[in-house]
Structure 1
């Protein structure tokens, strides 16, 4: 009874964990929104004595020389950020053309700093760019890990050093004992010094099953200097924008580093509000809040928006000039063009936010006086109200632009064009119109990049996008309260329509935004309804088999099982086979057919999965498909390696194959005989094959598996050749062969043997298969995948190694995978990695669980084995 209770508790705990993993993004989004709401309330209270006009005056009083200096320091900071990537590549031992690295890093930081979330983030851009430059997913993960860790450790070290130097001053600002601050700073520096000492020779350390190779002393020292320079330059951007103050630069650096750290930890997009709250809390006793707010606004514009605009302008210059200079520069320009969708999507997002914020702040009186002379009030009111909705439309379109949707391109172009006209009708907003014109030009020049035919409005927004929109609207609400804090609320405000009445105009715009955003959120949360596509019809299976036989990948013959759904390319010459379990839509291996169609077929599958309310995953894909997966926002996680034998040069001679030759000779002495039966010859022996199969399953206490493995079904077994081993005329072992008409590759699926088969029978069987295939002119033999092969010594993504290892140990128990690596190594194959591509680490764990259920025939099949 206690065992039953324990099983029930474990089952419930597993269910809770799965729910938490499934809804993790929604939980994180809600938590980020809550943190932002608390911070926004704090900022509103901190600025209780500040008025909007005072902030405008502080902005106007900022000298141009300070802005130029801020732009200069921004450039220096981005130089250091580029060196992060350069040092990371050097650390993993890869050299790439510096112009390409610089373009990738600059765009990644320009986008990542500005939006700070989702598929537009810097990590996703690196996966897209570096995969095209030949880096493996493991290497890209190590680059991202190096950059992230370097920034975190650099931030800690710089803030600790600055705090140690100016502890009394910082303590006076924060209201704590300077002794405690110095003790904390010294402890941080001591830990960092310990890490530096431990990694002086590039040592690998293990903690709780995780392994991490620390950078050697040279790399660590160089990266510390780069990190310190970056943080110092970034802090100087804000420092030079501050008014004259008695706060010294070292003191300010410590406050700035803490503010950046809290902004990162908050998970709020771009640390919006959190960074400002910490800076204001730290410096409000030394600098007027109105002046501080003005400086923070300028800091956001110069350090965040200016690099984004510069990257867009450089992209436009590159595209319009058709840059053909030195090969490396031309390659970098081509790479920038590949990253154009992410860059333009970020610009659309920023301009959408700009339109929303501008709808809740008053227009200059001089502009309104001028408009009142030439335009009737309804036109101004309508332009103001609709501009705010167009801002929300651009934010929604930004997601589709990042996915290269042609529908999003049309929506963004139309929305930006109308907003451009409205910028002059609601107020003479020349700066706003200029930025919208930049977006319009960028869209027109890069129209070819948005070539995916899909409706923007059929795509439901994910939790990160919904949380970001909520943060934007909450910020607009706080700005509205701040700007009109002296205006007493009354119901009559909603119905006041006058040129001079700005508060009612802002209220109506915000109400319209909230209604539209609420409808959008409800639509996204309630849709799409989860649905499953139909199983393939007989005609579709015949079409898939015809495509399979005309291409090189032999394991595509698994489509003959008929247990997988099919997605064909528009031409019908390529397809993806996939299964659905839970919310996971799992494509098996690479697409099959015409290689030129694979990238768009990957996108088609990912879009179909999203429309059906699921998460797209690609299981056991080759390195060749990684770039296409990165383009649709999927990350790759290594599963293991497949063993490939070059049959053209395969020869059993030599000491390496002595054991195999002995097994083959012993099999002949034992009376074993090898032969291959063609499909038309299988009828008379299919009953014998089934007997061997049933005996093998009973002996191993196993059930038939599906999805990535074949099962003994007569239609499937009879469709391909079968290699058999006989003992005195009786079949004692067999393996079903999978081949295609191109003879580029062959592989095996079902491998079964009788319990009384002589020892070494399987070795004898495989030696016979290899000799037969070589004689028939096949060029390569695929021995299949060895799960976890090549993962044990990985330095990146240790959490994935642990989760993947646990899941595949579980799978090993059910699928009889133990010893596969050792068996395949007998043939001295070439090992090639295979990956799982999915949206994130949590999605990878869930997808692997769903793969387990697909292969095992559902939960009952896995539990009962």
Structure 2
């Protein structure tokens, strides 16, 4: 089965990341050096970022040229005739085999979830798998990959990003191994027919098949060992148990065999035998995946034509490939659309919805819009059926036929553009798509009685109307910024359609007069004019994207913005929002002003600190606004240190989550000093009392009285530890900032020896601390005494939680189901004490018996998380100097 999305999906959700964060610990430093934002677009991306997409488009062009050479003696009319000669029973058999292949695909997810240590009801797994493959096979890139669809679906069901990463990694590896095993078996048992098709010696192919088969089964052999570890140079991969690998190989064999049979039954039956056909098919699929061309378009076809042209007429092969794409790709996507329509209707009637199903609507409809746009563009660039045109001309004037044909091509281009907006639930994209679809539907019967187009467009329109509630994000479609991957996908469709047009009219001699011929039978002139319309639409959009005004971004928040943000933060449960008081970050407010994001920029990274702050109803639109603004300025959106509760929100905006560590939170109602396990706490309190410690909390209005004493402690602490003030996710000793919130002090013999600034809100739900400093000559146990006093104080005042902050890299798994990045993070946690006190910090927090909650970084564009982490580290360090020094 041609699973073109596997590499793109792995890029989106293939690892977890770790990094530093705001933590509450005795030796924490804090600060803020201002990071300016000039509101201008970033310099152009490095040429390396364009290399892979550029190579994919160039490769597609070369493949189109190769197909043209292979089919140089074949005419377009011969292919159309070959299509009409395929019997209905073959079409039915291909449909049934497609269903069998997708049934096998559902068990990929079942096995992947078992590998990740999770179980879900099969109907939900089957729904996610079906939609993921229907979308991923058709589009096969970035945001519309199977991995992205799974991330959207499984996150609301409670799966953590690292668990979804393990599922996707298992599916990718399982498909790859199964593909290799299938090719190896085919080369061994059908070496003769394959050798004839590929014009290679039979013994050589069979020997190659044995090597390939051994390679495929090597993980099984390795998993039989007790350690179950496969070592590839410096990389150690912990394998699943042998039974699970063998089961997945069997599932993949069934999947690939069934999908190969879909194409095989569409070929003339006097061609290559099925056993010999399967390895050829597997090789073509593998090359299509490795090409990185979306959906392997062109690459797969070139390999199949080259392999089968020795035994089959090329026109029959081309006809079979066209039908294969329609049955195995377009048909499942249409079925997925009908499925989500049915689920939406069920929700509307019964008021119940399948958890996660709503997350599938945007990618499915985006893929269907992409397919519909490509269909309209292709229809505009190829000849129409002469019989239909003749019948239509008897009732419709020629100018209307010409106009409908021309405008339909432009509308197809528009659907390619709006598909991305549908993916991100933009209401503007929904409205434009609905209008464009309605117009295209009206033109379909007027251009050539296009029944197929009418069916697909009607399905898209019904799906859009049935799911209107899912596209509620306010947007201006003209301010969309397209990623490289999306541009490659659109370019793939347009290049492919242009190649088909050149093939269809290769026997037509070009003359200038063609542009002005207006006749019912003049297909070539009509297609040339459609090509001009498509080019004009693309040029208009491209010029607008270059000259449109960019939204300005202030260097830092104004006094009015800060006042408004502080008022919002005071009404929230999470006290970390008080870091907005530092004034060192920019602010972005929701349209209704009820929520905000505080962020800073480093390099190309636009880093938002924490989840949005304010009314949850305003979060989705605000997250999207931030992501799009970053993209418009040529940057990447990063949400740093977000909780697990709203990961589906970031996934919905096209962001992938990477684990950073775990946050320690003490449930105050359960915190007691009685019992043997608490003896150390009681001893710490008694010791501090005997030493004469005096604990006092100064409210904000009294803090100015002790500012000089606090600054003296802070300066001595910084000098003693030889550290600089930090920034961004940490507070700093800024007099206005410190005086804006309560401060807990510890005196010894009348002198302040330690203090901590307190983060609280009017909700009195959770409390935390930010800036902590302790005099170097303070007695041992000073910070333990201060922490215990604060915990007991907030418990007495009725708070529910006390946040100790995050322990970076904690909670990373190292078992057989762990991803590579997870194991790397765990290794750094275990052995990186000389660089950062990971274990010591975790141990300090852990002795308070906290609840550990994961913290993540959500990053846009599927980039390597290390790039974003590096930028965040520079922000926290107050600049590059703060990173390389203390």
SS at structure 1 position matched to 2:747: strand
Deviates more, 1:470-479 or 1:109-118: 470-479
**1:568 and 2:576 matched:** no
Larger relative helix fraction: 1
2:473–2:620 Cα contact (<8 Å) kept: no
Q: Which residue is equivalent to 1:95?
A: 119
- TM-score w.r.t. length of structure 1: 0.93
**1:758 and 2:779 matched:** yes
**1:651 and 2:672 matched:** yes
Deviates more, 1:520-529 or 1:192-201: 520-529
**1:259 and 2:288 matched:** no
1:652–1:661 Cα contact (<8 Å) kept: yes
Q: Which residue is equivalent to 1:9?
A: none
Q: Alignment partner for residue 760 of structure 2, among 724, 727, 739?
A: 739
Q: Which residue is equivalent to 1:157?
A: 181
Query: For residues 528 and 847 of structure 1, what CA distance do their matches in structure 2 show?
Result: 27
Q: How does 1:47-196 map to 2 (within 5 A)?
A: 47-196=71-220
1:461–1:524 Cα contact (<8 Å) kept: no
1:523–1:149 distance in 2 versus 1, CA, 3 Å: farther
Query: For residues 348 and 539 of structure 2, what CA distance do their matches in structure 1 show?
Result: 45
**1:213 and 2:234 matched:** no
Q: Alignment partner for residue 447 of structure 1, among 468, 473, 481?
A: 468
1:706–1:855 Cα contact (<8 Å) kept: yes
Q: Alignment partner for residue 40 of structure 1, among 47, 57, 64?
A: 64
Query: For residues 773 and 363 of structure 2, what CA distance do their matches in structure 1 show?
Result: 50
Alpha-carbon offset, residue 603 of structure 1: 2.3
**For each residue in 1:581-604, what CA deviation from the matched residue of structure 2 results, as whole angstroms up to 9, or x when unmatched?**
222221111222233333333223
Query: For residues 642 and 169 of structure 1, what CA distance do their matches in structure 2 show?
Result: 61
Q: Alignment partner for residue 307 of structure 2, among 265, 282, 287?
A: 282
1:97–1:503 distance in 2 versus 1, CA, 3 Å: same
1:660–1:826 Cα contact (<8 Å) kept: no
Deviates more, 1:25-34 or 1:395-404: 25-34
1:643–1:442 distance in 2 versus 1, CA, 3 Å: same
Query: For residues 759 and 459 of structure 1, what CA distance do their matches in structure 2 show?
Result: 58
SS at structure 2 position matched to 1:733: strand
Q: Which residue is equivalent to 1:828?
A: 849
**1:403 and 2:453 matched:** no
Q: Alignment partner for residue 490 of structure 1, among 507, 511, 521?
A: 511
Deviates more, 1:363-372 or 1:441-450: 363-372
Alpha-carbon offset, residue 668 of structure 1: 3.4
Query: For residues 528 and 121 of structure 1, what CA distance do their matches in structure 2 show?
Result: 32
Q: Which residue is equivalent to 1:357?
A: 378
SS at structure 1 position matched to 2:557: coil
Q: Which residue is equivalent to 1:3?
A: none
2:605–2:871 Cα contact (<8 Å) kept: yes
Deviates more, 1:571-580 or 1:428-437: 571-580
2:809–2:825 Cα contact (<8 Å) kept: no
Q: Which residue is equivalent to 1:8?
A: none
Count the aligned residue pairs: 843
Query: For residues 355 and 804 of structure 1, what CA distance do their matches in structure 2 show?
Result: 51
1:647–1:317 distance in 2 versus 1, CA, 3 Å: closer
Q: How does 1:18-33 map to 2 (within 5 A)?
A: 25-33=49-57
Alpha-carbon offset, residue 70 of structure 1: 0.2
**For each residue in 1:120-153, what CA deviation from the matched residue of structure 2 results, as whole angstroms up to 9, or x when unmatched?**
2211111111001111111111111111111111
Q: How does 1:288-437 map to 2 (within 5 A)?
A: 288-320=313-345, 322=347, 331-332=353-354, 335-437=356-458
1:845–1:231 distance in 2 versus 1, CA, 3 Å: same
SS at structure 2 position matched to 1:486: coil
Query: For residues 546 and 477 of structure 1, what CA distance do their matches in structure 2 show?
Result: 57
Q: How does 1:194-209 map to 2 (within 5 A)?
A: 194-200=218-224, 203-205=228-230, 207=232
Query: For residues 257 and 473 of structure 2, what CA distance do their matches in structure 1 show?
Result: 43
2:814–2:822 Cα contact (<8 Å) kept: no
Q: Which residue is equivalent to 1:636?
A: 657
Q: Which residue is equivalent to 1:228?
A: 253
Q: How does 1:698-847 map to 2 (within 5 A)?
A: 698-791=719-812, 793=814, 795-799=817-821, 802=824, 819-842=840-863, 844-847=865-868
Cα RMSD after superposing both structures:
2.6
1:262–1:821 distance in 2 versus 1, CA, 3 Å: same
SS at structure 2 position matched to 1:363: coil
1:349–1:394 Cα contact (<8 Å) kept: yes
Query: For residues 219 and 845 of structure 1, what CA distance do their matches in structure 2 show?
Result: 32
1:557–1:72 distance in 2 versus 1, CA, 3 Å: same
Alpha-carbon offset, residue 19 of structure 1: 10
Alpha-carbon offset, residue 318 of structure 1: 3.5
Deviates more, 1:65-74 or 1:733-742: 733-742
**For each residue in 1:54-89, what CA deviation from the matched residue of structure 2 results, as whole angstroms up to 9, or x when unmatched?**
111111110000000000000000101111111211
Query: For residues 811 and 497 of structure 1, what CA distance do their matches in structure 2 show?
Result: 78
SS at structure 1 position matched to 2:614: coil
Query: For residues 177 and 793 of structure 1, what CA distance do their matches in structure 2 show?
Result: 47
Alpha-carbon offset, residue 271 of structure 1: 0.6
1:529–1:541 distance in 2 versus 1, CA, 3 Å: closer
**For each residue in 1:170-218, what CA deviation from the matched residue of structure 2 results, as whole angstroms up to 9, or x when unmatched?**
1222122333322322222223333102223683456566453312122
SS at structure 1 position matched to 2:381: coil
**For each residue in 1:446-490, what CA deviation from the matched residue of structure 2 results, as whole angstroms up to 9, or x when unmatched?**
111111110111102221121122222211221111111111222
1:110–1:293 distance in 2 versus 1, CA, 3 Å: same
SS at structure 2 position matched to 1:620: strand
Q: Which residue is equivalent to 2:537?
A: 516
SS at structure 1 position matched to 2:394: helix
**For each residue in 1:13-40, what CA deviation from the matched residue of structure 2 results, as whole angstroms up to 9, or x when unmatched?**
xxxxx99996655322111101111111
1:202–1:625 distance in 2 versus 1, CA, 3 Å: farther
- TM-score w.r.t. length of structure 2: 0.91
Alpha-carbon offset, residue 357 of structure 1: 0.7
Q: How does 1:464-475 map to 2 (within 5 A)?
A: 464-475=485-496
**1:537 and 2:558 matched:** yes
Alpha-carbon offset, residue 356 of structure 1: 0.7
1:812–1:818 Cα contact (<8 Å) kept: no
Q: Which residue is equivalent to 2:33?
A: none
SS at structure 2 position matched to 1:457: helix
Alpha-carbon offset, residue 53 of structure 1: 1.1
Alpha-carbon offset, residue 300 of structure 1: 0.4
1:657–1:827 Cα contact (<8 Å) kept: no
SS at structure 2 position matched to 1:339: helix
Query: For residues 419 and 807 of structure 1, what CA distance do their matches in structure 2 show?
Result: 58
SS at structure 1 position matched to 2:342: helix
**For each residue in 1:406-460, what CA deviation from the matched residue of structure 2 results, as whole angstroms up to 9, or x when unmatched?**
1111111111111112112221112212211221111112111111110111102
Q: Which runs of 5+ in 1 are unaligned?
A: 1-17
Which structure has more relative contact order (CA 8 Å, sep 6+)? It is: 2
1:460–1:523 Cα contact (<8 Å) kept: no
1:210–1:799 Cα contact (<8 Å) kept: no
2:256–2:282 Cα contact (<8 Å) kept: yes
Q: Which runs of 5+ in 2 are unaligned?
A: 1-41
**For each residue in 1:789-845, what CA deviation from the matched residue of structure 2 results, as whole angstroms up to 9, or x when unmatched?**
1225274542476589889999996x8767311221222211110000012452522
1:376–1:812 distance in 2 versus 1, CA, 3 Å: farther
SS at structure 2 position matched to 1:241: coil
1:677–1:117 distance in 2 versus 1, CA, 3 Å: same
1:205–1:214 Cα contact (<8 Å) kept: yes
1:705–1:777 distance in 2 versus 1, CA, 3 Å: same
